[in-house]
């Protein structure tokens, strides 16, 4: 893995070079083994939290982990193009617009004992901006090379906080072009229901049941690119004990194996049908 500046990463993408890198501020990683027509992303995988924020933060390390999407990068790590956040969403949220990316409160609890200064915020917002510079360059390259692209936007959610039965996997589609893409979202939902997690977990999937696909990552790409579909895909945290702070690696590996089969299969169908 290389340590590269944003300009260096963008240059490598523009030149269609394969590489594996971390940004020089350690805020995200990107791996490109081949310039395929599909991209995998785990924007909330990160858990890093800048040390200068520690004493001012009212949320514990566990509370931050609880709201992050642990292990989502591992679920997609073997695909040709993977981009993933390294920093906690409690510093800045890559799935929110810049003006709302830095939380004042989080899930009903005040986040900071004292308001953040503009200089502290600017460091985080620069990392947010850098990430989207790379995303823009990446999708531009994929669309120009293939004519279309599909992005698998992988997240997780806390199923135990719901007071009703919820699906193991949810696809959020309210902000995609329904005329062009609804059938691909439906087929993706169906394919995900075939993934085996464990003998104790019955895999269920649904569209817009728990989350609707309102994230900035999806909205940004959909707004900027006319031939790219982003599928916001939420796995309930059946792969861990969200209350006891324990990850079940055997279940994470099962999801990883399932996605290793299903993502290329679905992406190939999307590309062949969309491009014609």
Tokens coding 97: 């617009």
b/e per residue 229-251 (b: at least 16 CB within 10 A): bbbbbbbbbbbbebeeeebbeeb
Distances (CA, A) of 190 to 80, 161, 186, 231, 236: 23, 25, 6, 13, 16
pLDDT at 276 over 70: no
pLDDT at 274 over 90: no
pLDDT at 87 over 90: yes
Q: What's the pTM value of the predicted model, to 2 decimals?
A: 0.97
Q: What is the pLDDT of residues 159-176, one digit of tens each?
A: 999 999 999 999 999 999
Say if residues 260 and 80 touch (Cβ distance below 8 Å).
no
Mean pLDDT, rounded, for 199-217 = 95
Strands of the 228-236 sheet, one edge to the other: 2-4, 19-23, 28-32, 81-85, 38-42, 149-157, 228-236, 169-172, 205-207
pLDDT at 273: 87
């Amino acid at each position: 893995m290389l340590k590269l500046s944003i300009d260096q990463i963008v240059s490598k993408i523009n030149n269609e070079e394969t590489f594996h890198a971390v940004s020089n501020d350690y805020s995200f990683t990107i791996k490109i083994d081949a310039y395929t027509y599909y991209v995998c992303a785990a924007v909330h995988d990160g858990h890093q939290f800048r040390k200068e924020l520690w004493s001012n933060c009212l949320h514990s390390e566990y509370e931050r982990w609880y709201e992050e999407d642990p292990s989502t990068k591992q679920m997609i790590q073997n695909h040709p193009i993977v981009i993933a956040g390294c920093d906690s969403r409690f510093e800045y949220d890559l799935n929110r617009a810049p003006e709302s990316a830095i939380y004042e409160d989080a899930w009903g609890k005040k986040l900071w004992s004292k308001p953040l200064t503009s200089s502290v915020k600017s460091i985080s917002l620069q990392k947010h901006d850098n990430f989207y510079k790379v995303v823009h360059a990446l999708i531009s390259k994929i669309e120009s090379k293939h004519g279309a692209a599909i992005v698998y936007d992988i997240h997780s959610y806390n199923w135990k906080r719901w007071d009703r039965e919820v699906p193991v996997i949810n696809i959020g589609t309210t902000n995609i072009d329904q005329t062009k893409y609804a059938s691909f979202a439906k087929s993706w939902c169906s394919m995900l229901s075939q993934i085996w997690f464990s003998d104790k977990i019955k895999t269920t999937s649904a569209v817009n049941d728990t989350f609707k696909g309102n994230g900035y990552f999806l909205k940004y790409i959909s707004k900027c690119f006319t031939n790219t579909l982003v599928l916001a895909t939420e796995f309930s945290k059946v792969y861990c004990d969200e209350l006891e702070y324990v990850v079940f690696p055997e279940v994470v590996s099962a999801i990883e194996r399932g996605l290793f089969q299903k993502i290329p299969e679905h992406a190939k169908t999307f590309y062949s049908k969309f491009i014609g």
